[in-house]
Amino acid sequence: MGLNRMRPAGSLAGEKITNREVVVLGDPIHDIFLDGSIEDPAIFTTQVIASRSGGALNVFENVKVLMSHNKSHFLSPYEWHQGLDWWNPHWTYSLIRTPIHTRGFLLSTKEHSSFYKNEDLVRRLRLYHDSVVIFADYDKGTLTSFPKQDDPWLNANYPLCIVDSRYRSLDLRWLEPFDIKIWHCTGDEFDKDWALNFDWVLHTDGPNHVRVSHIHTFCSDTFIPVPQDTPIVDTIGAGDTFTAAVAASLSDKEITPENILEAGKFAITACQDVIQKRYTAVTDVRLS
C-alpha cells in the first residue's frame, strides 16, 4: 500500500527535529495487586503483593524511561513535583486488581472532585506549545470536560497529540490546536464515528497485527506484524507502553506517514518487553 504525503507537523519540510518535549495529561491511577480474590469489595483481607503507577502515570513513567533526554512532563490538576507521592489517595484513584479481577475495580466510588478542577491545565499546557502531547483519559474527570477560558485556546500551535481514551470520554475541545491527532485504541475499543475525530488510528489487539489507519483518505490500512513467540507473563499496562513509545519515537522526527509507521514498530518492541514482566510494568527499551 502506498503511503500518501502530508505536511510535516510543527516544522518546515526538511527541517531537523530534535528533542521535542513530551507532555502527559490524564487521570493518575494507583494499581494495587492482591494475591487472591475478594468476596466482598468492602472487606480487604488479602495481602497486597504489588503497587504500581497506573493510568496516565504509567504512560508518563514509560515516557521517562524511553526518552534519552529529560524532557517529559506530567500535568494534572495539581502542580507536578518530582518525587511527589502519587499513591496518596488524595492524589490518585486506587484500582484493585486480583487474579480474577484483572481489569480492576475502584477501591472507593467516592468522587475525587479535585480531579475536575482542571482550569489551570490549559495555562500550563501552553508552556509546551511545540511538544508532543499525550491525553491519557481514564474517565475519571481530568479530561472529560474543558475549562472555561477567557483567552482563546487556539492561540498556540501544537504539532501532535496522541489520545489513549478507552471510554471515549475525552472532551474533544482539548484536540483543537493540534496539527496531527492520533488515537491509540486496543481490542474492541475501536469506534468508527470516534475515529473520525483523528488523522490516524493505531489499533492494537493483543497478538494480532497492529492496524494503522489514515483517516479521511482513500488509502488502505497498513498492518504491522507482532512477534508471536514472545512469552507472555502479564499484559496489564502494555497499552500505556505502546502510547508512550509512539510519542517518544515521534518526539525527534518529522511527523510523516513513514515515521508514524516506524513509531508503531518501535512501540511493538517496547510492548514485547513489558508483557514479559509481572503487574503494571515499565519497559526497559530505549530510543537509540
Average pLDDT in the 67-89 region? Answer: 60
pLDDT(225) > 70: yes
The sign one gets for the Cα dihedral 103, 277, 55, 223 is negative
The per-residue pLDDT of the chain, averaged, comes to: 79
Stretch 217-246: mean pLDDT, rounded? Answer: 93
Residue 128 has pLDDT above 50, yes or no: yes
Tally Cβ neighbours within 10 Å of residue 19.
12
Distance CA 212, CA 214 (A): 7
User: What pLDDT sits at residue 283?
Assistant: 94
How much is the pLDDT for 264?
98
Say how many C-beta atoms besides its own lie within 10 A of residue 120's C-beta: 14
With cut-offs at 50, 70 and 90, classify the pLDDT of residue 106. Answer: low
How far is the C-alpha of 53 from the C-alpha of 45, rounded, in Å? 22
The domains found in the chain, sorted by start residue, are 22-274 (3.40.1190.20)
Q: Is the dihedral of CA 270, 272, 273, 278 positive or negative?
A: positive
Give per-residue pLDDT as tens, 17-74: 557 899 999 888 878 777 655 555 555 556 667 778 888 889 999 999 998 666 888 8
Higher pLDDT among residues 118 and 247, named by residue: 247
Integer Cα distance of 203 and 223 in angstroms: 9
pLDDT exceeding 70 applies to what percent of the chain? 70
